[in-house]
Amino acid sequence: MRKAVKSAAALGKVGILRDLTEAQLGKILDIAEPLEVKAGTVIMREDEPGDEVFLFMEGRVDVSKNLTLKLGRAGFGRAEKSMTKLNAAQASVFGEMALFGTEPRSATVTAASDCLLYRIRREDFTALCEADPELGLKVVRRIAAVLGARLRKGNEDVLKLSTALSIALSK
């Protein structure tokens, strides 16, 4: 993995920053902290508080959630289940919900390879949006589109699982 280089051109490739001018990208660079994350490192953990978003520049991550499972007669237990694998080309941001509220993280994200990320803290993002509302609106619109797409996919997945369960139970 190459050394983290802060450049507006690199950040301009991130989907949620695509509409920003060079000057606005420079403002993002001022608040973005580059992180080189080694494979196997947990970047964020489900149910823990979070106040930062990660711009995903290079690498691959695993996204997992804890599931409750029936363990025979012993009762119920929890197990971590890998939900999806992401790479920087397909998902340029994760942890974005932490910018808008104080709910705990919804999933665990672990580096599957060495990764280059940029971390932006909620308070820095909020201050930037207040100082430059046009920049804030552009980024928030893009984040809303990302969240909307993920919600639609989640709804489709729930429908598929519900249908499969209904069919299995009817046999």
Each residue's pLDDT, cut to its tens digit, for the chain (171 residues) gives 444 556 777 888 888 999 999 999 999 999 999 999 999 999 999 999 999 999 999 999 999 988 766 566 666 665 556 678 888 877 788 999 999 988 999 999 999 999 999 999 999 999 999 999 999 999 999 999 888 887 887 788 778 878 887 888 887
Ordered DSSP codes for 65-125: EEEEEE-GGG-EEEEEEEEEEEETTT--EE-GGGGT--PPPSSEEEESS-EEEEEEEHHHH
pLDDT of residue 1: 47
The total number of residues shown for the chain amounts to 171
Q: Which among 33, 50, 60, 26 has a CA at the least distance from the CA of 118?
A: 33
Provide the pLDDT for residue 70: 58
Per-residue pLDDT, 78: 59
Domains and CATH numbers, the chain: 8-165 (2.60.120.10)
Residue 122 neighbours by CB distance under 10 Å: 16
Tokens of 19: 């509409």
Show the CA angle centred on residue 124, arms to residues 87 and 137, nearest 5°: 75
According to the model, what pLDDT value does residue 29 have? Answer: 93
Give one word for 14, left, alpha or beta, with left for phi > 0 and alpha for psi -120 to 50.
Answer: beta
